Structure 1
Amino acid sequence: MTNEGTRQKLPTLPLHTIWMLSFAFFGVQMGFSLQSSNLGRLLQTLGADPHSLGWFFILPPAAGLFVQPIIGRLSDKTWNRFGRRMPYLIIGTVVSAIVMFLLPNAGNLGFKATIALIFGAITIMFMDTSFNMAMQPIKMVVGDTVNEEQKGYAYSVQSFLANAGSVLASIFPFALTAMGVANTAKPGVIPDSVAISFYVGAIVLVITTIIALINVKEYDPETYAKYHGIQEEGPKESVMHLLTHAPSIFWKLAVVQFFSWVAFQYLWTYGTGAIADTVWHATDAHSAGYQAAGNWFGVLSAVQSIGAVLWALVLTKVKPAQECFAYGGSLLLGALGFGSILFVHNQWALLVSFMLIGFAWSAILAYPFTFLTNALDGKNNGTYLGLFNGAITIPQIVASVASFGLFPLLGSSMPHMLLVSAIALIIAALSAVRLLRGHV
């Protein structure tokens, strides 16, 4: 229930405070990017069949599908001395750090290949659950505390920190190899360049979370109710009721998100193998060429993140009436980047491809949450953001399941799977312009 008559505007926050609200996102995204940019390489090193990779890539979105709505719902009702959202960040960070030390050692524990792969899969499941638990509070606290005038800036800061964490995560294995750290290992063992990157990522995650916890002060129930124009103890509404009464833009954004995340799911699943094939002509996951491709994919992921940061600066100049066209145009540029990978056989030329992919990634991070939170009234922000995460996770699950038919249909060609990504982004771009015009 709203109470608009006594509602007070959220205060204008100092820029330092806005940065601190999202500071933990740097560490969380570094861990998430280490996983996403190295997962295919890790699994194939442990012995996974390329035809079965889709099964493993179902785990991350499946975790997010269930965890984020639960965390959103629970945190909407949580008020204790540690805050409203922050307790879940603490739990997520602790579990994430533990599993980031465990995963790179899956091949060092004396297990047979099959058991090592199962151990790796279980560790990945816990890692994704904890990453989602840590990530969701950071998104929600911005919606709780930042007014509409500053919200665009706040989410831009969040995008910047996320991409900065991604850059560091992506180049770390490459940089360690350049410094002489081993980039190959015996079959079934994760190279030191990757393992050390995960250890550093865990430490950075813990440090950034501690800094955020020291600096972020959430509103108490009375103050929150005053600023959002709601009762402290409003009527309880079921998740199904909230879902069926979601603003129309919730569902329209979900369509765009579906095709966008299908595209990126295939990038994370087949990206390393695709460039290993087209540039290094390597298909053996234990070969030096394949491991070199894995390192270069990390560099390309960093370029993607740099492109996203630069493009975010461009998007801040777009007028509200033109945002749907900027959204669609960014996705089209990303489609061009995806489609070019099949035809590029030079590792340096791929920098351009991934810069274009970064433009699309910037729009995907910047627009949907801004559009959605501006349409919400503050009563159930956490629950709605958690439910909206289904527009991210369900497409990834669908893409992974579909890959079991698509991959053999396309001649078991990883580069051709990225051509599917290009087609998906074209559909997403057209949907953004068609469905969102007049809403943003």
Structure 2
Amino acid sequence: MKGVSITSKKPKLSFWQIWNMSFGFLGIQFGFALQNANTSRIFETLGADTENLAFYWLAAPVTGLVVQPIIGYYSDRTWHPTWGRRRPYFTIGALLATAALCIMPNSPALWVAIGTLWIMDGSINISMEPFRAFVGDMLPDEQRTQGFAMQSFFIGIGAVVASILPWVFSHWLGVSNQAEEGQIPDSVKWSFYIGAFAFISAVMWTVFTTKEYPPEDANTTDQVDAELINNNTTAPANYVKIGLSLLFITIALCSWFYMANLNPQLYVLCGVIGFFAIAYVVAGLLMINNSPTNGFIQIVQDFQHMPKTMVQLAYVQFFSWFGLFTMWIYTNSAVTSHIFNSSDPTSAAYNEGADWVSFLFSWYNGVAAILALIIPYISKALSRRHTHLIALCCGGLGLISFYFTTNHYMLLVSMAGVGFAWASILSVPYSMLSSSLPAKKMGYYMGIFNFFIVIPQIIAASLLGFLITTFFDSEFIFALILGGCSLILAGVLCLFVNEEKQNIP
């Protein structure tokens, strides 16, 4: 591979080369799966009010919003003859995430667990974001669907094992899944320890078995920045105008929430809009004053001038991840209260329900792992957007069906539909997107694309608690219905995505 530029025609890789470059996602998903399946349980055990769970979960999307574009920007400009371009970030993120996974189940208080979640999610993001760009760097266009599908396969396998670990420890190995009030059960603690070992081992396997293509000089110099400035068609003053308009909306919403004495969590929504308002104003003022090009200005400019396909996919991603985040936050509360009839974290029924949720999360990821290998063939036969439409509708109907289920074993059917959606979400949008991005800014745009994963999560965290308590009398099963409807809407929006390959340098 020595001497091959990522912007030239890339040779096809063998099955095992794609296997090795994707294997790190097995460990990354160990971390995410343990986080998704057990964080609400840990928070509730440490005394969290269920109505505030979405607010406590803000760590995940906020860290993604900040970390991923920055990591994408710098990884595009990184090159080391031994460590390569993306692999230094894989390594740093893995070391930090491993430490956080060991600390999380030993949190002595709720505030410690919330703080550890911030660290853990930020560290996982440092490792995960460059993996998306890795496929675009290493594979020709005709192999990218296979590359993202392989990542989805390892995501599924990692999530299966990680999600089921508490159930395995408690039902097969006899480790206690109950503890005194305020204490995390041993079954959860040992699951996190195993996850920490798997995370660092899998990521380092990819680091030591995969060599990256050295980039052309233009990809790691200021020429990339100059090209971006030359292609910027929005006047600097217009950035300031856009920012001031967003700032006006922020102030108006805050005033409304305050005068109506609405749920304080809604102010998070104001924070998101205000974040973009300030970013646009500052970037515009810097450009007006002819400040030197920097990463901050470029992130704002690239956000303003996204490729057409990326804009179309942004709507699909928004509603897809709104539905997923709803599921991750409220499945534990919905299943334990609606099906196992208990909301007491110290009761046997609650912990049995919580263990079953871990099993369900393992199940849908197992389904996703299998279907990830089939999706490239379905996409070839039906087109990628129609495959994604079908998958998202199956996932949406699966979540809605929770409301009508009384036998917890029937939830296996519901979660099979979610598994199909999950396999598609992890591969198909990225496959469509990568063909529309310039190779020299692959990591950069992948980081910006992550905005449409984390923004819906932040909005979900700010709105869901208010919606469920105000309109559904704190019956958390209705959160899953909202999530299901969101997935179906995302599927319909797939029909408006142009997936024709674009000629991007």
Shorter-chain TM-score bucket reads over 0.9
Match for residue 86 of structure 1?
87
Letter in 2 for 1:430: V
Shift of 1:364: 0.8
Q: 1:380 is paired with a residue of what secondary structure?
A: helix
Distance in structure 2 (CA, Å) of the matches to 1:17 and 1:343: 45
Alignment match of 1:311 (pick from 371, 375, 400) = 371
Distance in 2 (alpha carbons) for counterparts of 1:218 and 1:316: 24
Partner-residue secondary structure (3-state), 1:246: coil
Q: Select 2:473's aligned residue among 402, 411, 419.
A: 411
- Taking a change above 3 Å as real, the CA distance of residues 309 and 439 of structure 1, as seen in their structure-2 partners, is same
Q: Which residue of 465, 486, 490 corresponds with 1:424?
A: 486
Q: 2 CA distance for matches of 1:323 and 1:13?
A: 22
Q: Is the 8 A contact 2:76 2:220 kept in 1?
A: no
Match of 2:307 in 1: 247
Distance 1:7 1:85 in 2: 16
1:154 equivalent in structure 2: 147
Q: How many residues align?
A: 421
After the TM superposition, which residues 59-78 of structure 1 pair with which residues of structure 2 at under 5 Å, given as runs? 59-78=59-78
What is the CA–CA distance in structure 2 between the aligned matches of 1:403 and 1:7, rounded to whole Å?
A: 44
The answer as to 2:236 corresponding to 1:176 is no
- Decide whether the 8 Å contact of 2:343 with 2:350 is kept in 1: yes
Deviation at 1:404, TM superposition (A): 2.7
Which residues in structure 2 correspond to 1:126-137 (within 5 Å)?
126-137=119-130
In the other structure, the counterpart of 1:14 is 14
Deviates more, 1:87-96 or 1:134-143: 134-143
Tell me whether 1:214 sits opposite 2:171 in the alignment.
no
Deviations 1:46-77 (A, max 9, x none): 11000111111111011111101000001111
8 Å contact from structure 2 (residues 309, 499) kept in 1: no
Please give the alpha-carbon distance, in whole angstroms, between the structure 2 residues aligned to 1:173 and 1:7: 45
CA distance in 1, matches of 2:308, 2:198: 39
Residue type at the aligned position of 1:335: G
Does the aligned pair in 2 maintain the 1:72–1:136 contact within 8 Å? yes
Task: Report matched runs for 1:37-76 at 5 Å.
Answer: 37-76=37-76
Measured against aligned partners, the alpha-carbon deviations of 1:200-222 in whole angstroms (never above 9, x if no partner) come to: 00001111122111111112234
Tell me the distance in 1 between the aligned counterparts of 2:364 and 2:22.
21
Larger mean Cα displacement after TM superposition, 318-327 or 200-209: 318-327
2:430 maps to what in 1? 369
C-alpha separation in 1, matches of 2:384 and 2:15: 24
SS at match of 1:64: helix
SS in 1 for 2:179: coil
1:273–1:290 CA contact under 8 A, matched in 2: no
CA distance in 2, matches of 1:284, 1:348: 22
Q: Following superposition of structure 1 onto structure 2, how do residues 231-246 of structure 1 map, counting pairs within 5 Å?
A: 234-236=223-225, 237=228, 238-246=298-306
User: What stretches of structure 1 of length at least 5 have no aligned partner?
Assistant: 1-5, 108-115
SS of the aligned residue for 1:379 comes to helix
How many Å apart are 1:383 and its aligned residue? 0.6
Instruction: Say if 1:221 and 1:232, in contact at 8 Å, map to a contact too.
Output: no
In the alignment, does 2:453 pair up with 1:392?
Answer: yes
Report if aligned partners of 2:396, 2:484 keep a CA contact under 8 Å in 1.
yes
Distance (whole Å) between structure 1 residues aligned to residue 224 and residue 99 of structure 2:
39
Deviation of 1:437 after TM superposition, in Å, equals 5.3
Q: Distance in 2 between matches of 1:426 and 1:358?
A: 14
State the shift of 1:310 in Å.
2.9
C-alpha offsets along residues 317-356 of structure 1, whole Å, 9 cap, x if unaligned?
Answer: 2337632122111111111100110111111111000011
Distance 1:155 1:322 in 2: 16
Structure 1: distance between partners of 2:20 and 2:201: 13
TM-score, L = length of structure 1:
0.92
- 1:280 paired with 2:281, answer no
Query: Deviations along 1:298-326, whole A, 9 cap, x unmatched?
Result: 11111111221233344222337632122
2:350 maps to 1:349: no
Alpha-carbon distance between aligned partners in 1 of 2:224 and 2:389, rounded to the nearest angstrom: 39
TM-score, length of structure 2 as denominator length: 0.81
For 1:246, the aligned partner's letter is M
User: Within 2, Cα distance between the matches of 1:7 and 1:183?
Assistant: 52
- Determine the C-alpha separation between the residues in 2 that align with 1:73 and 1:210: 22
Deviation sequence 1:258-291 (CA, Å, 0-9, x none): 1111111111111011111222111112211111
**1:232, CA displacement in angstroms?**
6.4
Alpha-carbon distance between aligned partners in 2 of 1:254 and 1:410, rounded to the nearest angstrom: 29
In 2, Cα distance between the equivalents of 1:7 and 1:274? 49
Residue 146 of structure 1 deviates from its aligned partner by 0.8
SS of match in other structure, 1:349? helix
> By how many angstroms is 1:99 displaced?
0.8
The match for 1:292 is 352
Q: 1:244: Cα distance to partner?
A: 2.5
Structure 2 equivalent of residue 204 of structure 1? 198
- Is 1:106 the equivalent of 2:168? no
Structure 2 Cα separation of the partners of residues 305 and 250 of structure 1:
26
Looking at structure 2, the residues matched to 374 and 180 of structure 1 have their Cα atoms a distance apart, in angstroms, of 50
Distance of 1:307 and 1:172 partners within structure 2: 17
Query: Partner of 1:78: helix, strand, or coil?
Result: coil
Where structure 2 has 5 or more consecutive residues not aligned to the other structure, the ranges are 1-5, 229-297
8 Å contact from structure 1 (residues 25, 161) kept in 2: yes
Residues 278 and 344, structure 1, Cα contact 8 Å, conserved in 2: no
Contact 2:307/2:436, CA 8 A, preserved across alignment? yes
| Change over 3 Å in CA distance of 1:235–1:359 after alignment to 2 | closer
Q: Deviations over 1:191-239 (max 9, x none)?
A: 00001000000001111122111111112234x87xxxx7966331322
Cα 1:417/1:148, change in 2 over 3 Å: same
* Displacement over 4 Å in runs of 4+: 230-233, 437-440
Report percent identity of matched pairs: 35
**Counterpart residue type for residue 129 of structure 1:** G
Task: Measure the CA separation in 1 of the matches of 2:138 and 2:7.
Answer: 14
For 1:402, the equivalent position in structure 2 comes to 463
Cα offset, 1:170, TM superposition: 0.9
With 37-46 and 210-219 compared, the bigger mean Cα shift is at: 210-219
Within a 5 Å distance, the mapping from 1:21-36 to structure 2 comes to 21-36=21-36
